[in-house]
Amino acid sequence: MFRKIKMLLGVSNALNKWLKADLLRLPAQDGQRVGMHAIESDEHVFCWQLHIIDNIYKSGYKTIIACEANSRFTLFIPVVAVLSLEELTKRLLKEWQYVVAETLQQLRAMPNSDIAMLLSDLSEVSVETNWVKNTDMSISGHISDAAIWVTQTIAEQGLEGLPTELAADLSIHLNTLMKRTKNQRQKFMPIVKMMDYCQGILKESQPLPTKPVLAPATNAVLESGAEISTLAGDNIVQLSDYRK
């Protein structure tokens, strides 16, 4: 039986305003600025940083950029109308799996049958989604770089909106580039680190401890329920609900 994981989604001030969500910030910790915590994915929590940009100055066409905390795996969600947190969660879960599969396929990293099996296995993972207003500055630089790719591509092609296929192509390109974080000397490829993470959460494991040891910022979030916004009703979702 596959495990359940928590998904922590940190949104920038700009995205929080656009969503009209009025999300609360992460709890303050010693030596850290309020709302600017470092987040880290582990076997219990899947962390993402999200931001929104105008495709063109003051355009109604916008793009939400989502970047996973450890792998810097990046994807783009084109939007026009405001989404609810539930709608954005569905889009993120669907696009994450889709971009992983398309990237693996383009790289010919594994047979299509194995990619299909991976998606099937991921669909069995239950995800509890938590929303907070937070900006991890170490991730913001990667999001800013991704934003430049969007605006320049749109300008070069004379577009306003970002077509779905073009959004996927940009994601695949960025996720197959070599990157480096401040804490790591060696470069890495986002899709490789994302695959390592996927394989980790799909392993059958021992029952989770009553109070798992987590990354400091993540642990503070999970222990302070009043500081977390969850989806209305039952916030345990199945990835299979959002697959095509």
Show pLDDT as tens, one digit a residue, over the chain (244 residues). 557 889 999 999 999 999 998 898 877 666 666 678 889 998 889 999 999 999 998 788 999 999 999 999 999 999 999 999 999 999 999 999 999 999 999 998 889 999 999 988 888 888 899 999 999 999 999 999 999 999 999 999 999 999 999 999 999 999 999 987 766 678 899 999 999 999 888 874 334 433 333 344 444 443 444 344 454 233 333 333 333 3
* Contact yes or no for 73/92 (Cβ under 8 A): no
Classify residue 187: in a domain, yes or no: yes
Classify residue 241: in a domain, yes or no: no
The number of domains in the chain is: 1
Tell me what pLDDT residue 34 has: 66
Q: Which domain does 195 fall in, by range?
A: 4-231
Classify residue 239: in a domain, yes or no: no
Classify residue 62: in a domain, yes or no: yes
Classify residue 238: in a domain, yes or no: no
Classify residue 244: in a domain, yes or no: no
Classify residue 100: in a domain, yes or no: yes
Can you give the pTM of this predicted structure? 0.83
Classify residue 25: in a domain, yes or no: yes
